[in-house]
Chain A
Amino acid sequence: MIVGIDLGTTNSLIAVWESGTSRLIPNTLGEVLTPSCVSVDEDGTILVGRAARERLQTHPDRTAAVFKRYMGSDKTMRLGTREFRPEELSALILRSLKEDAEAALGHPVTEAIITVPAYFSDAQRKATRAAGQLAGLRVDRLLNEPTAAALAYGIHQRDSETKFLVFDLGGGTFDVSVLDLFEGVMEVRASAGDNMLGGEDFMRCLIDHFFAHNKLPASLKSDHYFMQRLAAQAETTKRALSDSATASIRLSHDNTDYALDIDEATLERICEGLLRRLRDPVERALRDANLRPAELDNVVLAGGATRMPMVRRLVARMFGRFPACDINPDEVVALGAAVQAGLKMRDAALDEVVMTDVAPYSLGIEVAMELRDSSFSSGHFDPIIERNTPVPVSRVKRYFPITERQKQLSLNVYQGEARMARDNIHLGCLKIALPGLARDDSGIDVRFTYDVNGLLQVTATIVKTQETHTLIIEGNPGMLTEAEIAARFIALSELKIHPRDRIEHRTLLASAERLYQQLRGGQREWFGTQILAFEQALETQDKRHIEPVRKQFETLLNDMERDSFTVPHSDPA
């Protein structure tokens, strides 16, 4: 059985295709959203999910979050005594989800479809696949997030003909896709996006505003404890403003209380720049798909950040219509991934459905252009695969060296839309030795093959000799070789994961610890004793004893959270 996984910046989900429908699988806490956080416990075991997120505030130097933004790079994060690459942190999340699925389904899970932002680069996609491998999952297929959302939405409409746009604003990335559904064929017409724009950025705006409003020194930003607390509050405030007119942040530091009362209109004002950035990919996707907003039948929202009223308002004004909100935007991508898993398993229920995707960015090489007066101008970008070409695709173009009897040629491969190569993203370089003939005889056929997963293969063939060279897009910063993956897999396996049956309790304790940190004076002391009592109950390992204590403790926690400052709930709405 293949599962579908949404490996998100803020939250991750896992789902499965069963009995003709997609079903989300809950974690040990009974929730379908597992925060994408990893923490190393005091005893060295790994905590994933809500427990880790709580520890983001109490033990920020042993906890990591938002590491999806570093996928495809070499950046490591230090948790306790060990450095982790982003693939490894993601792998730990994936492993946890894998175990959740195995527990729910009752059999091993070895294969998964993982979603990636449509705009993820080659390196970022390979890192995602590597993360799957490190978690013991075979990832034969990567799926673009907006396409997944489209599948989840479209599967209910498979008999109709409709054109719609998916507006996917997640925690860290923004993707737009324009889709055309007819006769059960879901065709992506165009994709665009911004890899550095998500809900987290809106939060950062709020945090900056808090700093400005309270005239806090910039140096305070290096105080992890303070920042994590502030971040948690900002998150809750952001969500609160989706439902109520005003909300406030209250935080104390060094015995001073800081506060910020804010209403939705102000929030929109301070996030104006971000809202403007949302427009560009939408415009480009529509332009590339050759559609006007009026020709769309629907706009589908995906990603938790689309819950923000300001985003919904912007969407309504851009398109002149209210977006479709029937499917939970947090869940829609995972549900779609499960549909793709169903398609891959050739489930009979999905017989009449098929999906085609597109290459989201142009791919080409650096060339020199000959001008009318026979001079040359170098450094230009010549695309071989234009963006929004349906995939899989393979294109070949012939090039010639600049001078006669040229002995060597460097093929620099780029991805991007700019005219000059230097403004695009460099993917790799292939050096080819030429036979040293006249220009006209020294043609080279360069072939770009882009598969359904969005992975690129480049081959160059010297026409005269039919010698072929393949570019291995490896050894680039941000990418692991197969050997490195194998080695790290072994290393990761040796890490102890916190036992599943104790995660619920562990999470509760982590929340308690977090709350403890925020309390003061007598209240704090008293709460400390309550925690102790719970820990002692746990040590008895007697379920009948533990259960009622746990329930009581949980209720106490919730009460205290409500009473005191606007301390964030751990649950999303």
Chain B
Amino acid sequence: MDNRHSFLQRLDLPDDADERSIRRAYARELKLIDQENDAAGFQSLREAYDVALVWSRHVAANDMGQPQATDATTVAPPEASAETAASTDATPEPTPHEPAIDHAIQGGEVFTEFMERCLGLSSQHPIIDTAVWERELRTGLADDRLVSILARDIYEHHVAHLLAEGWRPGHEALLVAAIKVFEWEQDRRRVLSLGQDGALLDAAIDQRTMFALQTETEQSQQRQLVLRLREPRAPGTRELLRHIDTLEIMIARFPDWLALIVSVPTAIHWRELNEQIPDWRRKLASIGRRKPAETSYEKQGSSFNWAWLVFWMIVGLARFASHSGGESGSPAAMSTAASADAVNLIDIGNQQLEQGKHSQAIATFTRAIERDPSNDMAYADRAMAYYWHQEYRQAKQDSEKAVSMNHANPVAYRARGLVAMHEGSHDDALADFTRSIQLDPDNAFTYYRRGLAYEANQQYELARGDAEKAIRLQPDIHPGAYALIARAHQVRGDKKKAAEQAEALLAAIPDRHYSYLTAAHIYDLLGRTDAALTTLDRGDKAAPDISLHMLRARLLPRADVAGRRAAIQKALSLNPREPEALDLRRSLEYDTGNYKAAINTATDALTDMPADSQERADPLMGRGIAYARLGQHAAAKADFTAARGVLGPNSATAANNICWYLAIREVEMQTALDNCNAALTLEPKHIQALDSKGFVLLRMGRYAESIAAYDAALALMPSLSHSQYGRGIAYRRIGKHKEAEADIKAALASDNSIATTFAGYGVKQ
């Protein structure tokens, strides 16, 4: 049966056809078709050709890591063949022309001069006259250096990029001028050739057109708002309420265009301010009456007060009386008993949460919701309970519901933020935590969590600030807060301050084993293993726990076999089936060359685990590398495949993790490479997998390919110090010292311990 792709069949090409042979095949087939009379035949051939070209480029891009078993001969680079083709027929050499780089630089020069001129003109006031911008743009275009097409292109790119960066005073006029001068409106596709900036401009221009198609009234309303959004001064409540609907419409209809013609932070600020307006005030705007200022009654903590309830009832009835037929506010006459019940239940639920009885808390909150479906706090609290119970989907649902019911519920935002963190959406988490803090400024826990979110975004100073605030509010909030501060100091290179956190932590929370674990981790982060071990000793006395022994086993130097064995023994004596301890023992046996014993320990650990559980991954991998050392490659591969199977065969992250596991141990490098390639096939933009691939290839001595993989990773995340360092090493290996220095220096600048990390893998400069 012919397993080839249909397009390859049509062109009668083998599976490993390269671009040249595809073109040749197309040429051959094309000559057999009568274009005029067999249009359908031509079209199907052309389609096959187009698809084949795309396919071959895709394959070529992925081909870097393929084993050399297949032919290097058929995949001849196109340049070489072109030369041979040209030599058979003496085509005249193209006349030598100026190198393209000059034109690109010139284009940039003309743009810089344009900018300088405009800066000069706008020193007093921003340029808001489109004619002025137009004139300056055209002056640039008329410059002699821009006769070259390439230079003009660069110039246009620069202007597009300047606009795409976002609004600055006067840029709304620049946008109009640029559209006119470059004719971006006339030709739909012209703007799109400007890359990402072009795509943004394209959307903006489309939206601008749509703006002009609205009614005069709509346009004039929106125009007023636009003018206002260019001013930094905050709106008064009345003004805000007058414009907020228009703002929402504009954001819904013209998001990209808006970003280019007004200040985005200002618009966001308006929205935030709007969130904070109490409902009653909002409704007042439509009624047109004023009420005396009242103390805020939206403050909702997890402890509910009966007095507040009574107050609510009165206000609720008053509201019911005061407006008729407006949008639905809080439901009017609700049963007092039911709402009181709900409140009570919420109270109980929170107590259960504190005791760690997550499932019961969930049940309790559910009953609260049944009693009073309008109580957003019940949803918010249940969201938290779901989160602690690790049911993230439900947690997300409940938190969304709570937020939609009440824009001023800090617990709801907190819960949603936690879920966002779990999903890796750090920016969303930050926004939610910030909102929660706005509503409940004294909640230490939220500060701590926001600190973690900042850290995930590599905003270390902000992270530290939040962690410190959390500790100030509540010194025993969580050992993690101290660790976060320590990490922030360590990134800055201040080891002393980092170390101080360990002691501060132990002073603040001396009676939990987790504190000793965390403090030990802090010392370990700073490379002070002795101090870490001493801390664990202290923990043994103050708050003994199996985890301390296991950490000790990890921290002890590799060479201290006896010490490690003793620690593991202690752990197993406390719980003989503890999976982590078993894994440590396997690891020790592996380290000391007792591969058979390692295999047995791993097998033993696996017996406790259900067949498809993810926790099988570690022992499977561990057993696999032991098999590899014994030369039993088939068994090894089987274990690696099984590990990937339980982690998720369609998970790029899982494949990458396996690749990394093998790579840092320098075992089964080909399998490692296969896995990270598999990860990239599943998710071509998986940054970690690209980084892993670079590392694997580096280890395999395939430096050029390694550099290519690192290039790809850095293209997606230029600040990834791990990739930068790895690439630097690769450059050094092939003798490109200048590039190597540059990369290594940059990597160390963003993470000064990267060299140590790599040395730990066994890769030194």
Contacts and interface: CB of A to CB of B under 8 A. Distances in A.
B147 A182 contact: no
A419 B149 contact: no
Interface string B290-327: 00000000000000000000000000000000000000
B355 interface: no
A372 B252 contact: yes
Interface stretch (B85-93, B546-554, B659-667, B737-745): B85-93
B6 interface: no
A320 B36 CA distance: 38
Interface in A174-231: 182-185
B82 A161 contact: yes
Contacts of B183: 280
B267 interface: no
A318 B190 CA distance: 19
A347 to B, nearest CB: 13
14 contacts: A161-B82, A183-B27, A283-B152, A286-B149, A287-B153, A292-B150, A314-B147, A354-B31, A377-B213, A394-B43, A417-B188, A419-B206, A420-B209, A451-B36
A526 to B, nearest CB: 54
B384 to A, nearest CB: 32
Contact of B100 (A157, A182, A279, A294): A294
B257 to A, nearest CB: 12
A335 B152 CA distance: 35
Nearest to A386: B189
A342 interface: no
A280 B253 CA distance: 33
Interface in A303-338: 314, 317-322
Nearest to B99: A294
Nearest to A450: B39
B45 to A, nearest CB: 10
Interface string B171-206: 000000000000101111110010000000000011
B240 to A, nearest CB: 20
Interface of B: 23-24, 26-28, 30-31, 35-36, 39-40, 42-43, 46, 82, 85-86, 88-89, 91, 94-95, 97-98, 100, 103, 147-150, 152-153, 183, 185-190, 193, 205-206, 209-210, 213, 249, 252-253
B186 A417 contact: yes
A474 interface: no
A371 B252 contact: yes
A232 B147 CA distance: 32
B252 A390 contact: no
A283 B82 CA distance: 26
A293 B150 contact: yes
Contacts of B150: 292-294
Interface of A: 140-141, 157, 159-162, 182-185, 279-280, 282-284, 286-288, 292-294, 297-298, 314, 317-322, 351-352, 354, 356, 362, 369, 371-373, 375, 377-381, 383, 386-387, 390, 392-394, 417-420, 423, 449, 451-452
A356 B46 CA distance: 10
Contact of A423 (B35, B43, B186, B206): B186
A566 B114 CA distance: 47
Contact of A320 (B86, B97, B206): B97
Contacts of B252: 371-373
Given A184-B31, A283-B152, A284-B190, A373 B185 contact: no
Contacts of A372: 252-253
Nearest to B95: A321
Contact of B187 (A298, A369, A417): A417
A185 B30 contact: yes
Contacts of A423: 186
B88 A159 contact: yes
A159 B89 CA distance: 7
Contact of A452 (B31, B35, B147, B190): B35
Nearest to A372: B252
B36 A452 contact: yes
A432 B144 CA distance: 54
Contacts of B189: 288, 386-387, 417
B147 to A, nearest CB: 5
A318 B27 contact: no
B161 to A, nearest CB: 17
B345 to A, nearest CB: 39
Contacts of A314: 147
B98 A320 contact: yes
A322 to B, nearest CB: 6
A121 B706 CA distance: 53
Contacts of A320: 97-98, 103, 148
Contacts of B249: 373
A379 B188 contact: no
Nearest to B36: A452
A321 B149 CA distance: 13
Q: Shortest 8 CB-CB distances between A and B: which pairs?
A: A183-B27, A320-B97, A392-B39, A377-B210, A185-B27, A417-B187, A159-B89, A317-B147
Given A283-B152, A419-B188, A352 B31 contact: yes
B187 A321 contact: no
Contacts of B27: 182-185, 354
A314 B148 CA distance: 9
A277 B605 CA distance: 78
Contacts of B39: 392, 394, 449, 451-452
A283 B149 contact: yes
A391 B91 CA distance: 29
A321 B88 contact: no
B91 A162 contact: yes
A375 B42 CA distance: 42
Contacts of B26: 185
Contacts of B100: 292-294
Given A292-B150, A392-B35, A418-B187, 6 more contacts: A283-B149, A297-B94, A317-B148, A318-B148, A354-B27, A451-B39
A293 B149 contact: yes
